[in-house]
Structure 1
Amino acid sequence: MAVIKGNIQFLFLCLISFVSFFILLPESTAAAPIGICYGIVANNLPPPSDVVNLLKSNGISRVRLFNADPEALKPFSGTGIQLMIGVPNEILPSLASSPITTSVEWLQSNIFAYISPNQIRYLAVGNEVFLKDPFYTPHVVPAMENLRQALQALGLDEIIKLSSSHAASILSNSYPPSAGAFDPNIRPVMVPLLQFLRDSGSPLMVNVYPYFSYVNNPQYVSLDYALFRSQDAERDQNLVYDNLFDATVDAFVHAMEREGFGGIPVVVTETGWPTGGGAAASAENALAYNGNVVRRALNNVGTPKRPGVGVEVFLFDLFDENGKGGEESEKHFGIFGVNGVKAYDLNFN
């Protein structure tokens, strides 16, 4: 009788373990999300409704919109595509200095009037403000605080996360990754931002471009290291780096830890490689770079500092943007032609 009872207990424990394994399996094996940036600084783009059809036909389920443009938002309604929507730099002073009701009204009239909140994953409050657009710097965190209280008032603060997207230049040091540190000039605003992110369970958003690191510093950054094909790995505190993407992301992780904010996730809100207009800009190299970014996210490769934790990424850009200023290469990041044909054979899933 004791043997039978023992066997029953053993089978029960096995059953519990078996069920627990399958309950935990989806979370532990879910791929890191891959999205795409939908920039519209061009005069030859297809209608937004055609864009949505293009995204759906290619299995792209996350999109970054840089502004709350009603004409761009409307076609996404009911599609199930998850959105990151930009809150423009220009309105940050108003949101930061006005009552919470102003933030509520802005959200309702500019976003929720056109799309359901359950399709919105993130609001990116300002884009590359710190150092690049310093007039708006003191308004970023106060605007985020007011928007968060507005979302709380609407019962949406657990659905929609707030952050702000930053250029890699906010790091004063990024090599080696363990030496990663934020520019001391922005520390008075960076620390409150990190506190906000930790308190609200939001990620640090960063724009990572190994392409520009390579073309601006070819004597220090090899093309192979930028394209994930380096044979010469670099060691840093017993961690091995064979590509610049990982090294840059981990430099941000170290910089946050240096300020006492370990554990905040990193979302790469822009990364990509141009097909023309500059050194090493080609469809072949763009496929090599973006293809590796996608594969690593889908396989939850993570980084040496955070292995097995896939990095959520938004590839730049959906189309070439012929209205952009700056270097010629900045106009040629499009993964698709305006006719909907891929510039190179990138598979998103």
Structure 2
Amino acid sequence: MDLKQRMVQEALGMGFVACRVCRPDAVPEVPARLDAFLEAGYHGQMGWMEERVQWRGNPSVLWPEARSVVMLVESYAPEHDPLAVLERPELGAVSVYAQGRDYHDVVKKRLKRLARWLIAQETCEVKVFVDTAPVPEKALAQAAGLGWQGKHTNVVSREWGNWAFLGSVFTTLALEPDAAEVDRCGSCTACQDICPTNAFPVPYRLDARRCISYLTIEHKGPVDEDLRAALGNRIYGCDDCLAVCPWNKFAVAASDIRYHGTAGGTLAELAVLDDTAFRLRFSGSPIKRIGRNRFVRNVLYAVGNSGDVRLRAVAQRLCEDDDAAVADAARWAVARLAHL
């Protein structure tokens, strides 16, 4: 086998679902798409998307010496129906990807292992990236033939569905690129139809300002009152558009059991977490990054949507919380439950 074939074999042996290659300049369409997204204001409060926009739009600028991008997929497919928890309003619904260990730590370590292996085979330089770097990884994944960006803007594959983390290894080696994948969504609109907040103005375009994942994770301060009811009991992220994708019939089981956990809990217990208890409970979890205040704010919106008058007392105790957004969410929940 040549180097690329051996690399793919090595990556699969490490637990990656797929490994393919493209050139850094294989996504010339990205700058215009990114500019349109930012111009429309769809990024909301995510000001970091406007920073280093040249890097984010052009991988060749990010590291000019790179000649190949090795794109990798790691599955986190759930073992259960991720939408079932939405029928349990007394519970907090946490996105599947955040129910276990923080994927940034797990995926990056695996990427570094593959990068070290590559260096041991050939004299080269490498850089590894997960989604914290300004890399257009979804577009690169399609260019490398891993899958295509579906109408929900996430990468979808005929081989592993859409429950996947993406990672990349940039290298100075000139590896043979794979053929790009083509769009296979067809006439399906399942992901668009199920969105509780109508966050897709048109297929393939997401308005983050209406996306529940954005609202519960990235958005600071109070959420627009017109959108709070649509949050339901989702307290961290949202899986609706991913869960209904018909290509998940090909989903591959997660290779790392650390992705599966029980990060949620009852709204009654989650609402009363102080900063110390929050940090202890979510140590090692991606949830920890949003902090206690934003998390409890989300929980209180779920309390207000629960229809359970017994939770009114829980919200009442937080109406004078030190954090303004928490206090506002608590008062909203109390008022909403008072009408039942």
Is TM (by shorter chain) over 0.5?
no
Greater share of strand residues, 1 or 2? 1
**Which of structures 1 and 2 has the larger relative contact order (alpha carbons within 8 angstroms, sep 6+)?**
2
TM-score normalised by length of structure 1: 0.24
